[in-house]
Chain A
């Protein structure tokens, strides 16, 4: 410790003045205090007020030196004893200790009024083990003693009347115990207060750090856009350079080889058939997909169930929605026949996907590719990377109101309703036409897209070629299954519910490689093998039309209009778990922690798989206190704890979960 050694040296410096100490102890004392302060200054930077104290000590010293010598020496004897003085000036450990315990005058001046319910000493007495027993046993001991007291009382009252003195003593001791318990009670409550304060402190610290995180993500997004921009420009420059070189080479080639013209004519005619963007240099170059390098993690630190944003997306019931990644791009469709693309980061509409002649029933977003299935019996594919959209401009302009108050969606409504025109004009990739009735479900993975339609068929599409490669007839498969197995298993079953009439024939599909799962209006979940085109397993259990399904490597989760969610074990085909809500399930999705579903309520129902807890997430939770009446949630999507829900009135809510 540097402070200790310096204090030590100064202390021995004081030794030389030992002679003078007898006459001017006060001066020495002041000097000693200065030493102490210096040591304290060096050793204990704990107290911010300590730094100013040094100056105070110096000025004190000067003041005292100016006083008459005699007065000082007389005073000094009354103040303290010589042993104390000698010790405080000479012993290293003493000086260290004094430096540690020294309290500056500022602190001494700042003594608030005493408002405590019990004194520290009372607290001490209450805490100290009464009979010297260790703390843990204290309570038991007390109880047994109390019982003994009562027993004594009984036995005494049985044999002879207890004396008044004894009773008084008992009364006193009981009163004392009561008092002690009162103090302990106060202690406990004040301790709880203390802890509450600490928690509040920590919470406010957390809030500050969360804000910092939000700012960092903001900056990160802007920077990332800049990087992308530079990369694209670099690419363009490189391409231009290449083009120039190629042109030069071509000129050279033409000059040198006039004879090989026939061959190049031939190949050119073949080239023309290839619809490639690179062959037409006038066409705007395809830029890199807007994929983020970094993962936003802000939403993971919000409290589960808190709202990130609420968007008035449509004027009518939301029929489908999906997004790629948290704070990425969202696509919504509604009964008003529009399909909108949203930037979830800025919370604003980027554009409209136009082309369908009826409303879209189902859609999926994967990276920059969007697939939409519509009531006009067609499926359209879109490439969002071709959109003309410059996200950071919007971000910066709208920064303020977006971050400060995500609830204030009211003013932005109009803005969100008119996206820039024509931003999506290059997005359509192609249209898949083969179904003869409305498309109610679709799913794609890689180059394979599966669609389910009200024409009672499923179709498999090759996205590379844009063609239908297989048609699966559900009714035929059902009939065959019943014929082969000779039982009802796998056959089409009439669930005999009124609701079935309005339910979609194919409620949901999901494909993975050659495996396909589809849920249908008869309440069956069929697992197909796309290589053979056969149903290889049927999961029987739901008593109403299946409306949604999703599987991972372990489980298949299905939701049905029979109000239940069923979790199947994919390997055995048996029920793994099941639970039910009060109304038909219209939509369901799970991520690695939670299963969220829409069950005809104004909230999304969440089931936490890890701790088995059921809870509600959505504006319906706070509806009573906000005196709002949120609409019923129709569709839900969740990815990595980022939940989006679409409601009957066209509002889309985004939550952490």
Chain B
């Protein structure tokens, strides 16, 4: 059994009842919440498909990262994964690269890097396409208006 989940694992949301169990446990422990409980809830949130849940999950993870140094290395991966799910590729890459720097042989981190690159390239191309489309349209419209003005002047 691997000690880290692959990115695909993050895409399968928990049942609401399961998440509720984790949430109630997290809330029950109050201020002196244990790291594991906090992580359980955070990971449950990240797995969910709701964006605000995912954000809350990442926030909890960053709390863990701040408060318990012995879990930082693991947290890096989850932070990267959470941010990847959120579409925050810059942050995701920042954490993931740091982890790969520490553990070059980490398979999960390696695959996550591939995923990030794919997503970035795809979205980037799409962005370029959209932008260029907009630019062309603007050019055409602008040209037409220009033409119209020219026509009227003439």
Q: Is B100 an interface residue (CB 8 A)?
A: no
Those of B66-90 within 8 Å (CB) of chain A: 66, 69-76, 78-79, 87-90
B-contact bits for A59-93, CB 8 A (1 contact / 0 none): 00000000000000000011111111101100000
Asked whether A132 lies within 8 Å of B70 as measured between CB atoms, the reply is no
| Closest Cβ neighbor of A46 among chain B residues | B66
Q: Is A128 an interface residue (CB 8 A)?
A: yes
Contact with B72, one of A84, A111, A128, A135 (Cβ below 8 angstroms)? A111
Q: CB-CB < 8 A to B124: which residues of A? A: 77, 81-82
| Closest Cβ neighbor of A118 among chain B residues | B3
Q: In the complex, what distance in Å separates the CA atom of A29 from the CA atom of B22? A: 36
Q: In the complex, what distance in Å separates the CA atom of A125 from the CA atom of B3? A: 10
Are A111 and B102 also in contact (CB < 8 A) when A84-B88, A121-B3 are? yes
Contact with B21, one of A108, A125, A135 (Cβ below 8 angstroms)? A135
Those of A172-193 within 8 Å (CB) of chain B: 179, 187, 190-191
Asked whether A129 lies within 8 Å of B21 as measured between CB atoms, the reply is yes
Q: Is A119 an interface residue (CB 8 A)?
A: yes
B-contact bits for A116-136, CB 8 A (1 contact / 0 none): 101111111101110010110
Asked whether B73 lies within 8 Å of A114 as measured between CB atoms, the reply is yes
Asked whether B5 lies within 8 Å of A121 as measured between CB atoms, the reply is yes
Contact with B43, one of A80, A103, A113, A124 (Cβ below 8 angstroms)? A124
Q: Is A421 an interface residue (CB 8 A)?
A: no
Taking the nearest CB of chain A, how far is it from the CB of B102, in angstroms?
7
Q: Is B65 an interface residue (CB 8 A)?
A: yes
Asked whether A112 lies within 8 Å of B72 as measured between CB atoms, the reply is yes
Q: Is A194 an interface residue (CB 8 A)?
A: yes
Q: CB-CB < 8 A to A22: which residues of B? A: 131
Q: Is A476 an interface residue (CB 8 A)?
A: no
Contact with A132, one of B2, B18, B32, B131 (Cβ below 8 angstroms)? B18
Q: In the complex, what distance in Å separates the CA atom of A122 from the CA atom of B119? A: 28
Q: In the complex, what distance in Å separates the CA atom of A134 from the CA atom of B120? A: 39
Asked whether A116 lies within 8 Å of B71 as measured between CB atoms, the reply is yes
Taking the nearest CB of chain B, how far is it from the CB of A358, in angstroms?
63
Asked whether A116 lies within 8 Å of B70 as measured between CB atoms, the reply is yes
Asked whether B55 lies within 8 Å of A97 as measured between CB atoms, the reply is yes
Taking the nearest CB of chain A, how far is it from the CB of B113, in angstroms?
12
Asked whether B87 lies within 8 Å of A84 as measured between CB atoms, the reply is yes
Asked whether B69 lies within 8 Å of A84 as measured between CB atoms, the reply is no
Asked whether B73 lies within 8 Å of A134 as measured between CB atoms, the reply is no
Asked whether B40 lies within 8 Å of A127 as measured between CB atoms, the reply is yes
**How many residues from B make CB contacts under 8 Å with A?**
54
| Closest Cβ neighbor of A126 among chain B residues | B36
Q: Is B1 an interface residue (CB 8 A)?
A: yes
Q: CB-CB < 8 A to B3: which residues of A? A: 118-119, 121-122
Asked whether A111 lies within 8 Å of B73 as measured between CB atoms, the reply is yes
Q: CB-CB < 8 A to B66: which residues of A? A: 46-47, 103, 107
Q: In the complex, what distance in Å separates the CA atom of A134 from the CA atom of B19? A: 10
Q: Is A198 an interface residue (CB 8 A)?
A: yes
Asked whether B62 lies within 8 Å of A101 as measured between CB atoms, the reply is yes
Q: In the complex, what distance in Å separates the CA atom of A88 from the CA atom of B58? A: 15
Contact with A82, one of B43, B72, B95, B123 (Cβ below 8 angstroms)? B123
Q: Is A100 an interface residue (CB 8 A)?
A: yes
Asked whether A84 lies within 8 Å of B36 as measured between CB atoms, the reply is no
Are A79 and B90 also in contact (CB < 8 A) when A46-B66, A112-B70, A121-B3 are? yes
Asked whether A81 lies within 8 Å of B40 as measured between CB atoms, the reply is no
Taking the nearest CB of chain B, how far is it from the CB of A24, in angstroms?
15
A-contact bits for B88-108, CB 8 A (1 contact / 0 none): 111101010010001000000
Q: CB-CB < 8 A to A118: which residues of B? A: 3
| Closest Cβ neighbor of A49 among chain B residues | B66
| Closest Cβ neighbor of A32 among chain B residues | B90
Q: In the complex, what distance in Å separates the CA atom of A103 from the CA atom of B71? A: 14
| Closest Cβ neighbor of A133 among chain B residues | B17
Those of B19-68 within 8 Å (CB) of chain A: 21-22, 25, 32, 34-37, 39-40, 43, 55, 58-59, 61-62, 65-66
Asked whether B127 lies within 8 Å of A83 as measured between CB atoms, the reply is yes
B-contact bits for A150-187, CB 8 A (1 contact / 0 none): 00000000000000000000000000000100000001
Contact with A120, one of B35, B120, B127 (Cβ below 8 angstroms)? B35
Q: Is A110 an interface residue (CB 8 A)?
A: yes
Q: Is B15 an interface residue (CB 8 A)?
A: yes
B-contact bits for A186-215, CB 8 A (1 contact / 0 none): 010011001000100000000000000000
Asked whether B62 lies within 8 Å of A100 as measured between CB atoms, the reply is yes
Q: Is A268 an interface residue (CB 8 A)?
A: no
Contact with A110, one of B37, B69, B74 (Cβ below 8 angstroms)? B69
Asked whether A123 lies within 8 Å of B39 as measured between CB atoms, the reply is yes
Taking the nearest CB of chain B, how far is it from the CB of A1, in angstroms?
15
Q: Is B137 an interface residue (CB 8 A)?
A: no
Those of B116-138 within 8 Å (CB) of chain A: 117, 119-120, 122-124, 127, 131
Are A120 and B62 also in contact (CB < 8 A) when A84-B89, A84-B90 are? no
Q: Is A115 an interface residue (CB 8 A)?
A: yes
Q: In the complex, what distance in Å separates the CA atom of A631 from the CA atom of B35? A: 52
Those of A614-650 within 8 Å (CB) of chain B: none
Extra pairs beyond A103-B65, A128-B18 (20, CB < 8 Å): A79-B89, A79-B93, A80-B120, A81-B127, A82-B127, A85-B90, A88-B90, A111-B69, A112-B72, A114-B70, A120-B39, A121-B2, A122-B3, A123-B39, A123-B40, A124-B43, A125-B1, A127-B40, A128-B14, A129-B18
CB-based closest 6 A-B pairs: A81-B123, A82-B127, A119-B3, A80-B90, A80-B89, A101-B62
A interface residues (Cβ-Cβ under 8 A, vs B): 22, 29, 46-47, 77-85, 87-88, 97-98, 100-103, 107-108, 110-116, 118-125, 127-129, 132, 134-135, 179, 187, 190-191, 194, 198
Some 24 contacts from A to B, beta carbons below 8 A apart, are A78-B117, A79-B93, A81-B123, A84-B87, A85-B90, A88-B90, A100-B59, A100-B62, A101-B61, A103-B79, A108-B98, A110-B69, A112-B69, A120-B35, A120-B74, A121-B5, A122-B3, A123-B40, A124-B43, A132-B17, A132-B18, A134-B21, A135-B25, A191-B34
